[in-house]
Amino acid sequence: MKLNDSEKRDLINLINSGKYLPDYYRYLLFENPDQVELTWNGKSSEVTSLVLPFQIIEQVDEPRNEDTIYKQSSLIDFESGRQLKGWNNKLIWGDNKYIISSLKNGPMRDEIEKEGGLKLIYIDPPFDVGADFSMNLQIGENSYEKRPNILEQIAYRDTWGMGADSFLSMIYERLILMRDLLSEDGSIFIHCDDRLESSLKLIMDEIFGNQNYKNSITWKRTTSHNDANKFGRITDRILFYTKSEKFTFNKTYIPLSKEEVNKKYPLIEKNTGRRYASMNLSAAGPGEARDFGGRIINPPIGAHWRWSQDRINDALETGKIFFSKNGVPRYKQYADEHEEGSITQDLWTDCSALGSQTNERLNYPTQKPLTLAKRIIETASNENDLVADFFSGSGTFAEAAENLNRKWICTDLGKFAIHTTRKRMIGIQRNHKKMDKNWRAFEILNLGKYQREHYIYNYNNERDQLKYQQQKQKERDFEELIINAYHATSIDGFNAIHGKKGNSFVSIGPINQPLSRNHVEEVILECTRNNIVSVDILGFEYEMGLFPTIQEEARNKGLRLVYKQIPMEIFDKRAIAQNEVIFHDIAYIDFQVIKNGEYLSVELKDFAVFYNEENFNMKDKLKKSKSKVVVENGNIIEKKIDKEGILSEVYLTKTWSDWIDYWSVDFNYESKKEIIKIEKDNQIQDVWTGNFVFENEWQSFRTLKNEQRLELVSTEKRIDLKKTVVAVKVVDIFGNDTMEIIEVNM
């Protein structure tokens, strides 16, 4: 230790007085004082090692398998519509910190390693502190602004609650997990802007090593941006690191512009209109005469033909060799076969941002162009490699990976993002099917069995005991807030039951996690032990695939469970004071199974939601001659105040089907058990959860191009069983899913 007597006295006095130590002492007290690193308020080396099971909610093998005229050679069996072998791509909903930890430390790691390991990670985290992640949903000819749900808002608060310090804490732990999950010959690309590039560069140097830094790529995302006091910011940065000296790097090329093509290939073939250049076949050096399709051609003195005879004959057969007026053989180099252009450098100006009329545009706020994802995937991976995007958003990376024949894992915290990607990938499957191309099945997964002690709070600056006390106090305050707004009375003595309202008990789910099957199972267990027959379960967001099997389990035990959605207004004190907080029911589905001999089809008859959003104090909020679209009692309504101050309403949702964005059918729901892998006694075991996987056999959904067209009757499916269970899943325009099942005797 390099401390003199004066420094030792100062250090002791600082410790005795409970004051923080200046950074000066850090470099005197600890080894490696010359190490360059980035520090910030809240930095911690603690990394989660939590392993949660992945629950398969849905599997999509073949889109709408009523059409069997195409035959795929390797993966999909068109008679059954099921993937025969190999890797299923993964679309995972949940917090990526827990997802990556579970991938790294859990049983799925073996599955990843069998595929050769994870070769590439691309992430585009929410790096813009001022970003607005709302999006416009199309409702007929009108639109509704969808705000992030409570889980997304809490995640954004945790990301930017303390500005850049919060973001760096969030990304630091995740980058360490990603490094450990990445294969030794893998690469990682991180999307950011110039405000965070320097900080992220130091973090990446610390985690991956400066020797593994390859590039800071500048992406020109737009042509202009007006800023009052500085140059317009029209570029983003993409940091490129590898895990070791061994990695994949394939050269890519920037395509030639139309002007460059015309200049390089000035001639036009009369019969086809194709552009070409006339190339000389000779080169310096001695040679001998060659036979071109029966004509004896003598090369110039001292020259020989550049190509082999076989290659020359191939060119002759395709009409690419012709003879000039002087009888000299020439070669046609067509523009459409040689447009690779120049080798890509670290300035990318050709991956244009998405314009308002671009075909691939989904109106998703953070959507990036396919050309950008395509270049990264082509550069850092090969066909059949496994690649991942842990902030996947609208699914651009997944689409590019599928088109380039890569296996993929994509995750997102937003349920709407998962749903957007699901529709997008089904569209890709349909397109591949039309072109008789291969595709892979993909699974939609949850992180299962969230425990209450895994609350997502920022503990980095507090000691363990203080953290625990603050967590419990936050839980109590949160529960009391909900109980009061629900007009219930708090009760003690239970783990998963928190209050009572009339003759029914009340259970409250967590604020910052999906209300999971584990929570409902705990409610059922406590009700069974205490002879409770009715419980209202309140949650902000429900785990995908939670219904309907858990309902059946409760009914079999004589228990009535009612599920309620906690509205966003719960955090508005005025709404609570004015008794305007409405807890609405979960959506309702009505469908009919139509039998035609051995065939079944499904007709969707009704769908009801009970949402209420942003509809309180509306007359006070609206200015004269202004309007606002709100959700009220399951309707989307445009409210307007005229010049005289009179409030009028126009219903934008005309019928129940306007609420449906997507619906799908599994004609034999109980055919595939949900099997999860768990580690027990140092061995990986397959365990049936008691649930089944929804196998998506038919679906209809809206897109930007066909938002008005939604089929309400499925095609027929032949059933070779005496009895089957038909499941219907509906996803509303907010991305929330509901499922119902019915048993059918054939």
List, in sequence order, every beta strand (DSSP E) within 148-249: 182-192, 213-220, 235-242
Helix (H) or strand (E) holding 209, with range, is none
Which pLDDT band, with edges at 50, 70 and 90, does 701 fall under?
very high
Task: Say which residue, 474 or 520, is predicted with more confidence.
Answer: 520
Domain-embedded: residue 478: no
Whether residues 276 and 362 fall in one domain: no
Domain-embedded: residue 176: yes
372 Cα distance to chain centroid: 16
Alpha-carbon span 520 to 508, nearest angstrom:
10
Residue 295 pLDDT = 46
Contact assessment for residue 412 and residue 446, using Cβ atoms and an 8 Å cutoff: no
Q: Identify the three-state secondary structure at position 380.
A: helix
Contact assessment for residue 282 and residue 300, using Cβ atoms and an 8 Å cutoff: yes
One-letter identity of residue 256: L
Alpha-carbon span 646 to 400, nearest angstrom:
51
Whether residues 327 and 354 fall in one domain: no
Residue 283 pLDDT = 41
Which pLDDT band, with edges at 50, 70 and 90, does 463 fall under?
low
Alpha-carbon span 678 to 51, nearest angstrom:
9
Residue with tokens 């529709």: 423
Strand partners, 632: 635
Which pLDDT band, with edges at 50, 70 and 90, does 195 fall under?
confident
β-bridge pairing 82-83 and 76-77: antiparallel
Q: Please, is 238 exposed, middle or buried when counting C-beta atoms within 10 Å of its C-beta (0-12, 13-18, 19+)?
A: buried
Whether residues 88 and 126 fall in one domain: yes
pLDDT tens-digit series, residues 565-577: 887 777 777 777 7
β-bridge pairing 442-447 and 489-490: unpaired
- Residue 730 in this model has a pLDDT that exceeds 60: yes
Contact assessment for residue 481 and residue 473, using Cβ atoms and an 8 Å cutoff: no
Which pLDDT band, with edges at 50, 70 and 90, does 506 fall under?
very high
Residue 400's domain comprises 54-254+342-448
Cβ atoms within 10 Å, residue 112: 20
DSSP assignments along 517-575, one per residue:
HHHHHHHHHHHHHHT--EEEEEESSB-TT-TTHHHHHHHHTT-EEEEEEPPGGGG-HHH
Helix (H) or strand (E) holding 347, with range, is strand 347-348
Domain-embedded: residue 544: no
DSSP assignments along 405-434, one per residue:
T-EEEEEES-HHHHHHHHHHHHHHHHHHHH
pLDDT tens-digit series, residues 398-426: 999 999 999 999 999 888 899 999 999 99
Q: How many domains does the chain have?
A: 2
Whether residues 177 and 249 fall in one domain: yes
Residue 532 pLDDT = 93
Mean pLDDT confidence for 604-625? 71
Which residue, 48, 324, 349, 311, is CA-closest to 170?
A: 48
81-95, 357-371, 697-711: which has the highest mean pLDDT?
81-95
Domain-embedded: residue 554: no
- Residue 465 in this model has a pLDDT that exceeds 80: no
Residue 71 pLDDT = 42
Residue with tokens 């069996």: 77
Residue 441 belongs to a domain with what CATH number? 3.40.50.150
Helix intervals (H) in 32-105:
96-105
Domain-embedded: residue 435: yes
Q: Please, is 466 exposed, middle or buried when counting C-beta atoms within 10 Å of its C-beta (0-12, 13-18, 19+)?
A: exposed
- Residue 202 in this model has a pLDDT that exceeds 90: yes
Alpha-carbon span 355 to 222, nearest angstrom:
10
In this prediction the pTM is 0.80
Q: What rounded mean pLDDT belongs to the chain?
A: 82
Mean pLDDT confidence for 23-43? 71
CA distances from 743 to 554, 668, 726 (A): 18, 10, 6
Whether residues 125 and 241 fall in one domain: yes
End-to-end CA distance of the chain: 83
Which residue, 613, 628, 514, 630, is CA-closest to 572?
A: 613
pLDDT tens-digit series, residues 122-161: 999 987 665 666 667 767 666 677 777 666 776 766 677 6
Q: Identify the three-state secondary structure at position 653.
A: coil
Alpha-carbon span 99 to 33, nearest angstrom:
35
Which pLDDT band, with edges at 50, 70 and 90, does 63 fall under?
confident
Alpha-carbon span 675 to 665, nearest angstrom:
21
Residue with tokens 């769908």: 607
Q: Which of 448, 464, 479 finishes a domain?
A: 448
pLDDT tens-digit series, residues 112-124: 999 999 999 999 9
Q: Identify the three-state secondary structure at position 43.
A: coil
pLDDT tens-digit series, residues 629-652: 778 778 888 888 887 778 888 888
**How open is the CA angle 208-115-399, to the nearest 5 degrees?**
80
Q: Which of 309, 337, 365 finishes a domain?
A: 337
Q: Identify the three-state secondary structure at position 306.
A: coil
Whether residues 326 and 436 fall in one domain: no
Q: Please, is 548 exposed, middle or buried when counting C-beta atoms within 10 Å of its C-beta (0-12, 13-18, 19+)?
A: middle
Which pLDDT band, with edges at 50, 70 and 90, does 348 fall under?
very high
Helix intervals (H) in 299-389:
309-317, 370-380
Whether residues 167 and 291 fall in one domain: no
Domain-embedded: residue 646: no
Which residue, 99, 191, 692, is CA-closest to 411?
A: 99
Q: Report the share of the chain in percent with pLDDT over 70.
A: 79
Which pLDDT band, with edges at 50, 70 and 90, does 476 fall under?
confident
Domain-embedded: residue 86: yes
Whether residues 304 and 236 fall in one domain: no
Q: Which of 401, 422, 448 finishes a domain?
A: 448
Which pLDDT band, with edges at 50, 70 and 90, does 461 fall under?
very low
Q: Report the share of the chain in percent with pLDDT over 90.
A: 36
* Residue 367 tokens, joined: 């959507």
Residue 547 pLDDT = 74
Whether residues 363 and 425 fall in one domain: yes
Whether residues 273 and 249 fall in one domain: no
Mean pLDDT confidence for 523-545? 90
Whether residues 67 and 90 fall in one domain: yes
Alpha-carbon span 562 to 570, nearest angstrom:
19
β-bridge pairing 386-389 and 347-348: unpaired
β-bridge pairing 54-60 and 694-695: parallel
Which pLDDT band, with edges at 50, 70 and 90, does 270 fall under?
confident
Whether residues 142 and 216 fall in one domain: yes
Alpha-carbon span 595 to 242, nearest angstrom:
57
Residue 698 pLDDT = 94
Domain-embedded: residue 537: no
Residue 324 pLDDT = 76
Q: Identify the three-state secondary structure at position 280.
A: strand
